[in-house]
Structure 1
Amino acid sequence: MFPMRRADVPLYVQLKHHIRSMIASGELKPGDALPGERELVAKFGLSRTTVRQALGDLVAEGLLYRHHGKGTFVAPHDVKRNPAPLADVPEVMRSMGHAPTVEVLTCEKIKPPGGVAAALGLAADAQTTFIVRLVHAEGEPVVVVRTYLVESVGNLIHAEDLAVEPMYSRLERLGYPVHEGLQTIGATRLHPRDAALLAVEPGTPALLLQRVTFIDPGAPVEYSEAMFRADRFQYQTQLRRTASSW
């Protein structure tokens, strides 16, 4: 049993963090079967919907996989992912051959939206450091990045630092190295606010990168959303065929 029932954090998020921590610690190893939904419901006193949401999210993140008719298992490391380098947006732009410059538009303390608080495992009334950066390539605005940092780390970050140094490099200097992250990529269209910042028409296609990063397993430190102009950015990844679970 683990201490759940924190009223300020959604139960499915608490269960996800618990399972993720068990995997990171080696208590759950690649190939291990998780208890069935009914057993998890009984063990933790949760609803079936809550358990399904937590497991479904972890499957989507690549930490677990389902075998039809047999159950849910911890993903083998070579199946889970071949980790890509974890880099801040200016570092990504530099790796693409650009010469990025960063304009910090906002750096302030705010109460995050509910979805962000849940992703960071924060209490409903918690404060975060909210940062908005506009990244230019060769003088042209190409990316808007909105970042929420947990308060303990965000208190150490200043706008002038991020204008000259990538965030992850700065966090490393402060003794908070970011070890891993979970990222999703989707297509969207620019809201008038972001379109104005990026000097394009509202509704222009864009790529949205959403990311949660961790300083330790189960310890999220950052939630960010990066809005890339689709005409200036392409995402490329290397694929490798693994054994089919069909």
Structure 2
Amino acid sequence: MVELSRLIEHVKTKSDLSEQNATPLYLRIERGIESAIMQGLVAVNDALPAERELAAALGVSRVTVRNSVRVLVDKGILVQRHGAGTFVAARVERAPNQIMGFSEDMHIRGLTTRAIWLDRSRGTPTPEECEALEIMPDSIVSRLYRLRLADEKPMCLEHAVLPESILPDPTLIDRSLYSWLQGHDRRPTRCLQTVSARLLDVSHAHLLGVPTGSACLYVERKSYLCQTGLTKAAEQREETETQIPKRSNSDRPVEFVRSFFRGDLYEYVSEINI
């Protein structure tokens, strides 16, 4: 529950409403509201006071408040729900010790997912993909390149590459790759994952709807399937689909993923036992 008096006092202080300032008024109020959210005066999923109420309490026009809110919505800090109001958006947290696909990850957080397909194709692997998947240069791989959305907000760009023996036809994947892999006894059992901070180039930033040079989390993952974890049926299918020699009692690389997550909406949380 938002305590209006504390919120208004904080916004007034951070917005310098009583001072002459070259910064447009709506941007100063936007800064004050964002600061209040960061300080926890308005919690995640809490509704912001109505536009009319904020305008009256701050002594500014409703148009000014509306413009401030619009900036915060564009930044992903607030979300507007038709007929319900304006709410503080949830940042998506991900525990790195869990192997799950994007759809599963968002579903457990109550977010609705959608994908915009940028590429579904087959081809020969790049040298980097050959090394990651431990395959020969003349092998065939399936590529899945998607813009992933959560509650209709662009969340990440995901480029997955899998050997033909694991995914023979990329058009078989409509929504969740991991659901399909699960149904065919090919879901990864472990992965090696690297997370690093990067700045988005113009093409990635455009697709994610953020300015060029915005910060992102770059996640590179190589996933493995335990050979002994394959069912007999799956092993029989693989023998007919691939000429790659099998290695007994070892994990086999089955997926190489590179993802660019919006830094303003997505974060990793790690728990370490000491």
Alignment of 1:130-141 (within 5 A): 130-141=143-154
Aligned to 1:191: 201
C-alpha offsets along residues 150-208 of structure 1, whole Å, 9 cap, x if unaligned?
1112214425x333xx2111111122132111111111111222111111122111001
Unaligned runs of 5+ in 2: 1-94, 227-249
- 1:102 partnered with 2:102: no
Q: TM-score, normalised by structure 1?
A: 0.60
Structure 2 length-normalised TM: 0.54
Aligned to 1:158: 171
Deviation, structure 1 residue 130: 0.9
Asked if the contact 2:156/2:259 (under 8 Å) is kept, the reply is yes
Aligned partner of 1:21 in structure 2 is: none
1:178 aligned to 2:211?
no
Q: 2:267 aligns with which of 207, 228, 234?
A: 234
Distance 2:111 2:261 in 1: 14
Change (3 A) 1:152 1:221: same
Q: Which residue of 1 aligns with 2:212?
A: 202
Is 1:224 paired with 2:236?
A: no
Q: Alignment partner of 1:98: what SS?
A: coil
Which amino acid counterpart does residue 133 of structure 1 have in structure 2?
R
Please give the secondary structure, in 1, of the residue aligned with 2:139.
coil
**What is the alpha-carbon distance in structure 1 between the residues aligned to residue 137 and residue 201 of structure 2?**
27
Map 1:35-114; keep pairs closer than 5 Å.
Answer: 84-114=97-127
Shift of 1:218: 2.6
Q: Structure 1: 5+ residue runs without aligned partners?
A: 1-81, 242-246
Give the number of aligned pairs.
157
Distance 2:117 2:251 in 1: 29
Contact 1:210 1:226 in 2 (8 A): yes
Higher CA-based Rg = 2
Shift of 1:83: 8.2
Show the counterpart of 2:159.
146
Tell me if structure 2 keeps the 8 A contact 1:104–1:162: no
Read off the aligned partner of 2:184 and give its amino acid letter.
L
Show the counterpart of 2:138: 125
SS of 2:268 mapped into structure 1: coil
Aligned counterparts of 2:212 and 2:125: Cα–Cα separation in 1: 25
- Counterpart CA distance in 2 for 1:156 and 1:143 is 23
Q: Tell me if the contact between 1:90 and 1:102 (Cα under 8 Å) persists in the aligned partners.
A: no
Q: Match of 1:229, as an amino acid? A: R
User: Percent of aligned positions with the same letter in both sequences?
Assistant: 24
User: Using the alignment, how far apart are the partners of 1:239 and 1:110 within structure 2?
Assistant: 41
- The Cα RMSD (Å) is 1.9
Q: Which contiguous aligned blocks of 4+ residues in structure 1 show a shift greater than 6 angstroms?
A: none
